[in-house]
Structures are given as structure tokens and as C-alpha cells.
Amino acid sequence: MIDHDALTQLLGASGIVDPALAQQVGILAGRFPMPVQRDLFLEIEFGDEAVPAGFGVGFPAGALDRFRALQHPFLTSALGQSLEAAFADDPFAADHREHLNLFGDPDPDWVEYDVSNDRIDATPFVFFRLPSRLRRLANAQEVRALCAILPGEAENGDFERLLNRIVALGPASPYRIGVARSRGAGWWRAIVTDLDREQVVVALEGLGASDYKGPLGPALRLYEQGMDRSGARFALSIDVLDDRITAVDVECPFLFRIANPEARAGPLSNYVREIADLGIVSGATAAWTRDNVVRDVRLPQGGASLKIMLHHLKFRLFGQPHLRTKAYLHLGLTSDPATVAVT
């Protein structure tokens, strides 16, 4: 299992979370098997200060299926059973029984836990991979095929109309569908990626959003200045309740578009200075972002280390609170070889 003592100490030493929350994160993470320790994340929400809003882990693609096939003891633990209960809500379960769906992306299977008032909610929020044939949408017929199997009342609702506006300008890639029992019946979240700026604009304008262009132009300039790796430029995180879209966040810029982590600081510094000058974020938020673009945290006595990298920012551009800004930090724990246990 993950070395929870090392993670607790390293998070505390980072200063990103307070010692009490670092302890909670360490205890929770310590119940997960070691394969997830290179794909941990923290969600940080900015207000008067940077406040943790979520913690998550990523299982390597296919790992959970392998655990099930091998009857891995993790799945019989209380934590494993809570995850299995959450994954039982898969909206694509019937489709997977009918189709092989062999082709998917190599990204992890993400599990998230909300953090509020420095307490971690015990209910997992899980994301589901889409059927292979629906991972890239290019026309209204493909949009309708996806909406026909989504949760709630997606057909003929806000979400279908939004997707149709997007694909009228070019293809789009639904990345994951998130479901959380704690957020009530009929609620789900769609992540739609591989979008360009024009697709984001037409999606937001169709919802009647205003004052939304601020983060987009600076992100394009960051990509022009530094990007040297293929991948998404913009993604939309779309909250849906029954047939109604309640919130849309734009995710940008994606820092992994600059392959060398050490080369990200300059372009990011220019980006956050620009959005701070526009009043989108505060000077303190800009400074925090610059400080945490890439960090290696090590304990004085040596041993395990924690790699912290800013993955992307996220801005609420439709719904409330308007222009709420979050940062997603990717964490990779490297274990001290002397303390690694067999799992």
C-alpha cells in the first residue's frame, strides 16, 4: 500500500495543505494500492487564499479490471467496496456488455473525494470511460447516439444542444462522465476535450453566458509561446441536472502541452500575469500559481519524495460563482526503496 507516513510528511512540508488535512490525505491514500501513488492530485480553489477542494487518485488504465479478475484483496476492503459501489453506477454498463469497447485512452481511471472545511468527504466521486465509438463526435447523429445512453434526460436537453453547437464547428471528444451519489439523483458531469477557442465560445454563447473570454486568449498565447507536445488546448467541464446544464467550467491552459516541466515556468508566468492584469485572478493567486508550477519536495532525512506539477487551471464561465478559479496539481510519490512493501 502507499506509504501514508511519507505522503503526510511530504504534503505537510510542501505547505500546500495544513498538517491536519495532510494527515487525512495520508490516511486515505494509505488505504490504496501502490500503483496509484504516481497519479495523485489535489484540487485547489482560489478565494482570499488557496483552499483545498478535492483529493483524488488515478488507477492505471485496466488496473481495476485486473484487480477484479484476480480478486485482489483491496476490493474486499471497506474502501474497495465503496469504490465498487460507486463504479456500479456506470451509465455505460449495458453498452459494455454488448460491445467490446477495446479502444480507449491510456489515462488513469480517476476517483475523487470532495474536500470542504479541511475535511475529506468519504463518498467517492468516480469517472467513467465512454464507449469506444462515442469518444469522438463529428455530427448530430453521433451526438444523439451518446445522449441516448447518458444519465438523466440528456436527449433533447441542454447538453445535446450544447454538443451540437460544438460539433457544428468541428469534432469533439467526450473524455469522461462523472457520477457522484452524494450530489443527488439526476446529477452528472461531462468532460469534453480536444476543443478549440471558437468551439468554447459558441458553447458558452449558446447558454447565454457573458464576460467569459478573459482566460481564453492568454491561454492561446501561452500555447504559441511554449507548446511542443500534442494534446488538448481547451476542455469543458459541464455539470448537468436532469435535462439542464447548471454550470460550465473551461479547463485551460494544459501545462503538459510543454513537454519539459522545467520549461513551463516562463510561459505560465506570462499567462498568470496577463489574467491578473485583466482582474480574473488576484496577484496572490498568480504568485501561488507561479510558485507551484513544478516542485520537488524532499524530507531532510531523505527517503521518499513528492513531485508536484501544475496540470491545468479551471474557470467557472457559466453558472455561479462566476469566474471561480481552481488549480489541479498532479502529485507523484516516489517511495523510499527501503520501505516499499509488497502489494
According to DSSP, the residues that pair with 325 across neighbouring strands are 46, 315
Local confidence band at 341 (pLDDT 50, 70, 90 cut-offs): very low
**342: pLDDT strictly greater than 90:** no
Q: Across-strand partners of 113?
A: 55
In whole angstroms, give the CA distance from residue 264 to residue 262.
6
Tens of pLDDT along 29-85?
A: 999 999 999 999 999 999 989 999 999 999 999 899 999 999 999 999 999 999 999
* For residues 247-259, average pLDDT: 96
Q: DSSP alpha helices (H): ranges in the chain?
A: 4-14, 19-29, 63-70, 78-87, 93-98, 140-147, 158-167, 197-206, 216-226, 265-277, 283-291
Distance, CA of 168 to CA of 205 (rounded, Å): 14
Model pTM above 0.85: yes
Using alpha carbons only, how large is the chain's radius of gyration in Å?
Answer: 20
CA–CA separation, 194 and 199 (whole Å) = 10
Please write down the long-range contacts of 182-187, taking CB distance under 8 Å and 24 or more positions apart. 182/114, 182/121, 182/123, 182/125, 183/125, 184/241, 186/151, 186/152, 186/153, 186/241, 186/242, 187/239, 187/240, 187/241
> How far apart, in whole angstroms, are the C-alpha atoms of residue 194 and residue 60?
22
Structure-block grid coordinates of residue 342: 509488497
Answer yes or no: is pLDDT of 225 > 60: yes
Give the model confidence (pLDDT) of 207-220 as tens digits: 999 888 899 999 99
pLDDT in tens, 263-305: 999 999 999 999 999 999 999 999 999 999 999 999 888 789 9
pLDDT of residue 181: 77
Measured CA to CA, the distance from residue 233 to residue 170 in angstroms comes to 14
Counting Cα atoms < 13 Å in the Cβ hemisphere of 26 gives 19
Given a cut of 60, whether residue 174 has pLDDT beyond it is yes
pLDDT in tens, 75-128: 999 999 999 999 999 999 888 888 877 777 889 999 999 999 889 998 899 999
Q: Given this model, what pLDDT does residue 246 score?
A: 95
pLDDT of residue 243: 87
Q: How many Å from the N-terminal Cα to the C-terminal Cα in the chain?
A: 6
Output the pLDDT for position 338: 52
Per DSSP, the three-state class of 79 is helix
CA torsion through residues 100, 101, 102, 106, sign: negative
